[in-house]
Amino acid sequence: MAETLVLGEEPLTLDRIVEVARRRTSVAIGKTARERIARARAVVDAIVEAGDGAPAVYGVNTGFGFLADVRISAAEIRALQRNLVRSHAAGVGPLLPTEVVRAMLLLRAQVLCVGASGVRPIVVDHLVELLNRGVHPQIPAQGSVGASGDLAPLAHLALVLIGEGEAEYRGEVSDGAEALRRAGLPPLELGAKEGLSLVNGTQLMTAIGGLALVDAEQAAQIADLAGALSLEAWTGTPRAFDPRIHALRPHPGQAASARNLARLLQGSPIVESHRDCGKVQDPYSLRCMPQVHGATRDALAYARRVLEIEAGAATDNPLVFPDTNELISGGNFHGQPVALALDFAAIAVAELANISERRIEQLLNPHLSTGLPPFLIQSSGLNSGYMMAQVTAAALVSENKILAHPASVDSIPSSAGREDHVSMGVHAADKLRRIVENVRNALAIELLCAAQGIDLRAPLLPAPALAAVHHTIRQRVPRLESDRPIHRDIATVRELVDDGSLLAAAREQIPIE
């Protein structure tokens, strides 16, 4: 487990979010962050102390959304915040996975640590303690339109802080009050502006999108492994990965993918066996891997930059400026920057499956492959081999084409027209997550087929790094000699993709970027 993440002392990168969300790294609040929180709170406290004589400040002594012009008396300020959390907890659908909930808790704490929200330090302490003690609010996945941020999901998160809603603790789900009691935490009574500061923001879309993006980045590396193994099985040439070619079109992702492919294929006996075969060019799905895989890498790098900016941003409203004792209403909760980036990432990562499925076809189709039996099986006809594996990959690719339609071009007004343009950022994040799942399955199918192709090239061997990848697969999945149900084989290779075994095997031989 990595060392404790101290909020306010270091940038909140996607990798640190993954550590907290998936590996349960502990979290603490830094001294400077605590000081910023206290300074901003003093501004809110001054408004509260002024009572009914204070000017109207949105969300402190007024209603919300369309009701922003309704003045709330000083005696009702605490009830206002409690009612906000209760009324906005209107989510439906399946519950979010624990890793997403943990990422939301972390991101919400980080927002408050910026010191522009006006909450008391105890509010952030409670969020951090939910993480460290493993109290996970049960949050329905549906209900956000992505402006005023992810209101409904964040309200379900906040319910548990006040001892309501439901939470999971040590594998058991109970009401929020009981989960807090078992974890040794008291319920929190919300003060002025604190309910609003807990529900305003983009933390759900950033949580889902950030975790999916990290998985997509790994998928881009796996795509290079799968593509190189397919090229060996197809008896393609590595000439297209010559660094001189890519220096003339210096996209960073293209260059990185080309370096990976060249290293993976270095020292290949299979390549040497057909060096003078007379073929001039390979199909695009093999020859253009650096250009396609690399474009995906560059798009994901852009999305990472956006999400890491968002992770460290203040997305509350109104924002507190202690230097001038002001609270200013704005729109930092609007999810458009995140939604656009996640839509772009979804389109980009879908391409990894598009080109992978074409490489599968190149291996299986006897009219396209070079000396391989139909569908990679001896006695084809009696045996169908990997025929249906390509069909499954095609199904995944077609589903991705539907999912890749951008969510951010949609909008629907809410709150009686006050919130008249929204981002649909959670929809963009969820589509990305689903596409990444499909891509990883498609790549698992390609790896399975390519490994069979390598077997059929025996006694020739692939390059050392790819031989290690092939060996890792064969330790878990035997060569296909005659038909058997292959869904288990696909699932097993998918496990090797997810747990990093295949990348680790290659990295024992060469660096992988």
User: Measuring CA to CA, how many Å separate 149 from each of 139, 204, 228, 348, 434?
Assistant: 15, 9, 42, 25, 21
Catalytic residue among 58, 169, 284, 386: 58
- Whole-number Å distance between alpha carbons of 226 and 493: 11
For residues 21 and 211, the answer to whether their CB atoms sit within 8 Å is yes
Q: How many CB atoms lie within 10 A of CB 8?
A: 22
Is residue 302 annotated as a catalytic residue, yes or no? no
DSSP for 380-394, written as a single string: BTTB-TTHHHHHHHH
- Whole-number Å distance between alpha carbons of 210 and 206: 6
The length of the chain in residues reads 513
For residues 144 and 426, the answer to whether their CB atoms sit within 8 Å is yes
DSSP for 396-436, written as a single string: HHHHHHHHTS-STT----BTTTTB-----HHHHHHHHHHHH
DSSP for 445-457, written as a single string: HHHHHHHHHHHHT
Q: Which helix (H) or strand (E) holds 94?
A: strand 92-95
CA 296 to chain centre: 15
- Whole-number Å distance between alpha carbons of 147 and 333: 6
Pick from 245, 273, 276, 269: nearest CA to 259? 245
User: Secondary structure of 143-210 in the HEC alphabet?
Assistant: CCCCCCECHHHHHHHHHHHCCCCEEEECCEEEEHHHHHHHHCCCCCCCCCCHHHHHHCECHHHHHHHH
For residues 351 and 290, the answer to whether their CB atoms sit within 8 Å is no
Q: Which helix (H) or strand (E) holds 327?
A: strand 326-328
- Whole-number Å distance between alpha carbons of 369 and 453: 10
- Amino acid in position 286: L
Non-local CB neighbours of 24 within 8 Å, separated by 6+ positions: 1, 102, 134
Q: Which helix (H) or strand (E) holds 353?
A: helix 336-364
- Whole-number Å distance between alpha carbons of 241 and 257: 9
- Whole-number Å distance between alpha carbons of 409 and 417: 18
**Residue in the block written with tokens 């092939």:** 470
List, by residue number, the catalytic residues: 58
